[in-house]
Chain A
Amino acid sequence: SQTIHQWPATLVQPVGSPLSLECTVEGTSNPNLYWYRQAAGRGLQLLFYSVGIGQISSEVPQNLSASRPQDRQFILSSKKLLLSDSGFYLCAWTGGLLVRANYGYTFGSGTRLTVV
């Protein structure tokens, strides 16, 4: 069965420090991968998605970047964190059109980031 791992679970970082959040998927190959952010009192916002190694698309301009160095690894980064980067970050995966139609999306357990 497929599983998705996301870490760390919580993170408190000072303003201006770097960030690296990691997400890995097991039990599947060539997944579509996504980073979402859920800010306090707001809905889920898609930040980045990737349909293959090295292929990253950004949905919104921001202080963050993403990379996909391996098929089942997705990394969210920042060189210098801002207060506004605080939030709950969720990684998700799905398959291609046929797999997605049958199984939908699976989310990780999330990372609570507080920038102080």
Chain B
Amino acid sequence: KQEVTQIPAALSVPEGENLVLNCSFTDSAIYNLQWFRQDPGKGLTSLLLIQSSQREQTSGRLNASLDKSSGRSTLYIAASQPGDSATYLCARGGGTSYGKLTFGQGTILTVHP
């Protein structure tokens, strides 16, 4: 069974801190790894997509890495801001024709001024 685990479950930091969110998966035959952001009561917004052949992706203050051999991905957020407060979800993408996503439980991030 494919599982995705995110640590920590919740994180509270002061504004300006750099932080790391962790995601681990049990099946190394990964197709891609996608990080999403979810604001309360809203849908999922895609942040970064890492294909299995890549090791990292960057967008602005966000950097995501992928290490298939250890079954880990990390999302690094630089210089955190209160607007970064949200739930962050990682999802492992399957390589079958229908491409099922398996999600972690998420990390609830609070950045306080």
Contact = CB atoms under 8 A, between A and B. Distances in A.
Interface string B11-51: 00000000000000000000110101000011111100101
Interface string A41-58: 011101001010000010
A100 B98 contact: no
Contacts of A106: 46
A54 B11 CA distance: 43
Given A44-B89, A103-B49, A104-B32, A97 B95 contact: yes
B41 A43 contact: no
Interface stretch (B65-73, B74-82, B103-111): B103-111
B42 to A, nearest CB: 7
B106 A43 contact: yes
Contacts of B105: 42-43
Interface stretch (A64-72, A76-84, A108-116): A108-116
A86 interface: no
Given A97-B95, A106-B46, A46 B100 contact: yes
A105 B101 contact: yes
Size range of the chain A interface in the assembly: 20 to 34
Contacts of A94: 99
The 10 closest A-B pairs by CB, nearest first: A104-B49, A107-B44, A109-B43, A44-B103, A110-B43, A104-B34, A43-B105, A107-B43, A49-B98, A101-B51
Interface of B: 31-32, 34, 36, 41-46, 49, 51, 89, 91, 93, 95, 97-101, 103-106
28 contacts: A32-B97, A34-B101, A42-B105, A43-B103, A44-B101, A44-B103, A46-B100, A49-B100, A51-B97, A57-B98, A59-B100, A88-B41, A92-B101, A97-B31, A100-B31, A100-B32, A100-B93, A101-B31, A101-B32, A104-B93, A105-B46, A105-B93, A107-B36, A107-B43, A107-B44, A107-B46, A108-B43, A110-B41
